[in-house]
Amino acid sequence: MDALGYGFEDIELATLHERAVPSRVLGFRLGRLAAHRALRQLGRDDGPILSGTAREPLWPPGIAGSISHAGTNAVALVAPSDHTDGVGIDIEERRPAPELAEQVPRSEEWDWIQASPRERHDELVLALFSAKESIFKAFYPRVERFFGFEAASLVPAPGGFRARLVSDLDSEYPAGRHFHVGCRWRGDLVLSWLILPQSEVTGPTA
Ligand SMILES: CC(C)(COP(=O)(O)OP(=O)(O)OC[C@H]1O[C@@H](n2cnc3c(N)ncnc32)[C@H](O)[C@@H]1OP(=O)(O)O)[C@@H](O)C(=O)NCCC(=O)NCCS
């Protein structure tokens, strides 16, 4: 019996590793619940959301989506794929994360982090990390390969960050392409999201 009541929970849970720790199971379940609620708003909650080989959620045909969970919080973002080139979402709990400071910022990103008061550095690094995670999730279904934190360079902008690709991701998203990543703190959670506008489709010329 599906405890959360959306009808596909048992099928989805069966895909988790049988020795998955309770926190992993909780995050997975909360993320799926958020995703099904979001799909229902589009009238497309019509099957289980399984996972691909890189753990990416497999959405119904014609849907772009993304899931994130942290502790007892989960969020999902979905959109018709004829309206967007991809969407990504991420939440992170406020925490000291010295390892992120070593891994995430590019050298030019350190310039604006260090120009801010020292007591804000941890939250800026965490927001930058979250924004880059949402970039990864938005692009993974297009590029189907891993790319690291160095692939995009972000600067603070109203409502989040202005991102510039530093590496080519694909022919429509070459190095130099810009887009906006939303980012906001709510209490001790930071939420980031990316909704890529749909690239113009050019038909064959006569
Ligand atoms: C894959 C990754 C983004 C997941 O993020 P996380 O902080 O561990 O966890 P979150 O709760 O935010 O997100 C987990 C959800 O992301 C989704 N996800 C996992 N892998 C994914 C992928 N390859 N593509 C899209 N979504 C993915 C899943 O829905 C997953 O939840 P689930 O397994 O319960 O379904 C992260 O582990 C990672 O590999 N990051 C490095 C790559 C990167 O960020 N590069 C920066 C580019 S500028």
pLDDT tens digits along 115-157: 999 999 999 999 999 999 999 999 999 999 999 999 999 999 9
Q: How much distance in Å is there from the Cα of 205 to the middle of ligand 1? A: 39
According to the model, what pLDDT value does residue 201 have?
A: 65
Atom of ligand 1 nearest to the CA of 70: 11
Q: For residue 1, name the pLDDT band (cuts at 50, 70, 90).
A: very low
**Nearest residue by C-alpha to atom 2 in ligand 1:** 133
Atom of ligand 1 nearest to the CA of 89: 12
A 10 A CB-CB count for 85 gives 20
Q: How much distance in Å is there from the Cα of 12 to the middle of ligand 1? A: 17
Q: How much distance in Å is there from the Cα of 138 to the middle of ligand 1? A: 10
**Residue of higher predicted confidence among 39 and 202:** 39
Q: Are 134 and 88 in contact (CB under 8 A)?
A: yes
Q: How much distance in Å is there from the Cα of 206 to the middle of ligand 1? A: 43
**Nearest residue by C-alpha to atom 4 in ligand 1:** 133
Percent of the chain with pLDDT over 70: 96
**Distances in whole angstroms, Cα of residue 159 to Cα of each of 127, 143, 152, 172, 185:** 12, 27, 18, 25, 10
Instruction: Give 173's strand partners.
Output: 170
For residue range 20-56, what is the model confidence (pLDDT) as tens digits?
Answer: 999 999 999 999 999 999 999 999 999 999 999 999 9
Residue recorded with tokens 């996972």: 51
Ligand 1, pocket residues at CB < 6 Å = 27-28, 31, 51, 54-57, 67-69, 90, 132-133, 135-137, 140, 147-149, 151-152
**Nearest residue by C-alpha to atom 3 in ligand 1:** 133
Structure tokens given for 191: 């939420």
Residues 6+ apart with CB under 8 A from 77: 38, 65, 66, 87, 88, 89, 193, 195
For residue range 49-102, what is the model confidence (pLDDT) as tens digits?
Answer: 999 999 999 999 999 999 999 999 999 999 999 999 999 999 999 998 899 999
According to the model, what pLDDT value does residue 204 have?
A: 61
**Nearest residue by C-alpha to atom 46 in ligand 1:** 149
Atom of ligand 1 nearest to the CA of 49: 35
Which of 11, 15, 68 best tests ligand 1's pocket when mutated (most atoms within 8 Å of CB)? 68
**pLDDT, average across residues 193-200:** 93
Q: For residue 7, name the pLDDT band (cuts at 50, 70, 90).
A: confident
Provide long-range contacts, Cβ within 8 A and 24+ apart, for 80-86.
80/42, 82/198, 83/198, 84/195, 84/196, 84/197, 84/198, 85/138, 85/142, 85/172, 85/173, 85/196, 85/197, 85/198, 85/199, 86/138, 86/139, 86/141, 86/142, 86/194, 86/196
Q: Structural domain boundaries of the chain?
A: 1-82, 92-183
